[in-house]
Amino acid sequence: MQVRHFLQLTDFELSEFEYLFKRARTLKQRLGKGELYQPLRAKTLAMIFEKNSTRTRVSFEAGMNQLGGSAMFLSPRDTQLGRGEPIEDVAEVISRMVDIAVIRTFKQDVVERFAQHSQVPVINGLTDEYHPCQIVADIFTYIEKRGSIRGRTVTWVGDSNNVCHTWLQAAQLFDFSLRVCTPAGYEVAPERCGDPSHLECFTDPLEAARGADLVTTDVWISMGNEDEAEARRKAFADFRVDQEMMAFARPDALFMHCLPAHRGEEVEAAVIDGPQSVVWDEAENRLHTQKALLEYLIVGKIKDNY
C-alpha cells in the first residue's frame, strides 16, 4: 500500500477531514474524562524542526505521548542536517527507524523530497508555503463554536503568507468565501488564487471585515522574513485587526490567530484578549486534531470511532 503523507491540505479529501474532525472530537472528550487510550504504543515520531516552535512541537510531543508512543525532537543544531547531510539521505535513514515524521522547514520542496524518500508518513509542520496542521485545527475550532463553515465568510487581514495560502486551499475544500486584505506589494500571488469563486481580494480592511463570520490574521514578519522587518512594519501599519474592524464583522464573528501574536502590531490587545477571540481553544485544538491525524496516518480509520 502506498504511504500517505500530509504535506498540504489538498493531500486529503473532504471526507477524510470530516472523519478527522469526528475523531478529534472523540479523542478530546476522552482525554477530558481522563481515559487512557494508547493505540500508538511502541511507535515513534521523529520531529525535524529547522525553525522555532512552541505549539507545533508541544502538541505533537504531548499528543504522541498521550497516544502511548514517543516523540523525538531533532534540530539541525544537533543532527547531521546542520552539517549538510542531504534531506533525501536523512529520510532514507530515519524512516527505517521511526513510524512517522513531522518536518518544519523553509521550502516546501524539502518536505516533498523527504516524503519521496520516506517509507513512513510525513506531516508538514510548517513551511514557507503552507501550514496545514494549523488550518485543520482552525476549521475544527470554527465548527466547534459555530457549526459548519460551508458558505461562511472568512476575512484574512495582513500578509499573504503560509497560513493565508492554507486558508486559500481550505476555502475551496470546505466551500466558504475567503476575503484576503493585504497592503500593495503583499497580495496573494496569482498562481495561488485558484478558483476565483472562493476568493475576493481587498485593500481596505474595514470593507474586507464587513459582515464576516470570522476575522483572522498572523504576524507581519514570518520566520525567514526578519531582514524585511522594518519595511513590513511600515507597509502593514494600517492592517492591524482592531475593535473598529471587528465592529464591521457580524456581531457573533470570531477572531482567530495561529499565534505567536504581537499585540499592538497585527492585532490590538483588546481584540485578541476580548470576547470574540478563540485563540486559546484554537491553540489547544492543535493537540486534538493532530492526535487524530497521527492515529489516522499510523493505524488508519477507527471503524466504530471508539
Kindly list the residues in this chain that would bind ligand CP in the complex (CB under 6 A).
53-56, 126, 134, 258-260
| Active-site option among 5, 165, 240, 286 | 286
Name the minimum Å distance from CB 34 to ligand NVA: 30
- Quick check: 141 binds ligand NVA (CB under 6 A)? no
Could you tell me which residues come within 8 angstroms of residue 59 by beta carbon, excluding any fewer than 6 positions away? 286, 287, 290
Binding region for ligand NVA (CB under 6 A) out of 9-17, 83-91, 111-119, 158-166: 158-166
Q: Is 41 a catalytic residue?
A: no
Q: Is 252 a catalytic residue?
A: no
Contacting ligand NVA within 205-224 (CB under 6 A): 218-219, 222-223
Give which of 270, 277, 196, 207 is closest to 239, Cα–Cα. 207
Contact partner at residue 74 from ligand CP, ligand NVA, none, CB < 5 to 8 Å by partner kind:
none
Q: Report the alpha-carbon distance of residue 203 to residue 180 in Å, rounded.
A: 8
CA distances from 164 to 78, 270, 275 (A): 32, 23, 24
Q: Report the alpha-carbon distance of residue 151 to residue 272 in Å, rounded.
A: 25
Contact partner at residue 199 from ligand NVA, ligand CP, none, CB < 5 to 8 Å by partner kind:
none
Nearer to ligand CP, 53 or 277 (CB): 53
Contact partner at residue 161 from ligand CP, ligand NVA, none, CB < 5 to 8 Å by partner kind:
ligand NVA
Give which of 158, 141, 164, 284 is closest to 213, Cα–Cα. 141
What phi and psi, each to the nearest 5 degrees, are found at residue 207? -65, -40
Q: Is 286 a catalytic residue?
A: yes
| Active-site option among 258, 276, 288, 290 | 258
| Active-site option among 5, 23, 99, 134 | 134
Within a 13 Å sphere around the CA of 235, how many CA atoms are in the beta-carbon half?
A: 20
| Single residue of 59, 161, 217, 290 touching ligand NVA by CB under 6 A | 161
Give which of 269, 39, 46, 9 is closest to 164, Cα–Cα. 9
Burial environment of residue 96 by CB neighbours within 10 A (0 to 12, 13 to 18, 19 or more): exposed
Distance of CA 256 to the CA centre of its chain: 12
Contact partner at residue 54 from ligand NVA, ligand CP, none, CB < 5 to 8 Å by partner kind:
ligand CP
Q: Is 38 a catalytic residue?
A: no
Which residues would be at the binding site for ligand NVA (CB under 6 A)?
126, 161-163, 218-219, 222-223, 258
- Residues with catalytic roles: 104, 131, 134, 218, 258, 286
